[in-house]
Amino acid sequence: MNKLQAMEVFVQVVDAGGFSRAADAMQLPKATVSTLIQQLEAALSVKLLHRTTRQVTVTADGAAYYERCLRILTDVKDAEESLSRTRLSPSGRLRVDAPTGLASSILVPALPAFFERYPDIQLELGCSDRLVDLIEEGVDCAVRGGTLADSTLIARRVGVLNMLTCASPEYLAQYGTPHHPRELERHRCVNYFSAKTGKIYDWDFTRDGERIQIPLPGVIAVNDSTAYVEAGLAGLGVLQMTDYLLRDHLASGRMVQILPDWVSDPIPINIVYPQNRHLSTKVRVFVEWVAELFDSHPSMRVRALAPNVNQPQPTAEPEIA
The structure's pTM equals 0.63
Task: Give pLDDT, residue 290.
Answer: 92
DSSP assignment string, 53-111: SS-EEE-HHHHHHHHHHHHHHHHHHHHHHHTSSTTTS--EEEEEEE-HHHIIIIIHHHH
Contacts 24+ apart (CB under 8 A), 71-80: 72/7, 73/4, 73/7, 73/8, 73/11, 73/278, 74/278, 76/4, 77/278, 77/280
Task: Give pLDDT, residue 99.
Answer: 87
Task: Give pLDDT, residue 85.
Answer: 53
Report d(CA 121, CA 49) in Å as an integer.
33
Task: Give pLDDT, residue 111.
Answer: 95
- Output the tens digit of pLDDT for each of the chain's 321 residues: 788 899 999 999 998 888 988 888 888 998 999 999 999 999 999 999 988 877 888 899 989 999 889 888 877 876 776 665 555 678 888 999 998 888 888 999 999 999 999 998 999 998 887 777 787 787 889 998 876 666 678 888 888 888 899 999 999 999 999 999 999 999 999 999 887 778 898 999 999 989 999 999 888 999 888 899 999 999 999 999 888 888 889 999 999 999 999 988 888 888 988 876 556 788 889 999 999 998 888 777 654 443 333 333 333 444 455
Residue among 298, 178, 148, 175 nearest 240 (CA): 178
Q: Report the DSSP beta bridge partners of residue 220.
A: 190
> Quick one: how far is CA 17 from the chain centroid?
21
Strands 141-145 and 92-98, by their bridges, are parallel
Distances in Å between the Cα of 118 and the Cα atoms of 113, 213, 218, 285 are 9, 44, 46, 9
Task: Give pLDDT, residue 217.
Answer: 86
Q: What is the 3-state secondary structure (H, E, C) of 278-294?
A: CCCHHHHHHHHHHHHHH
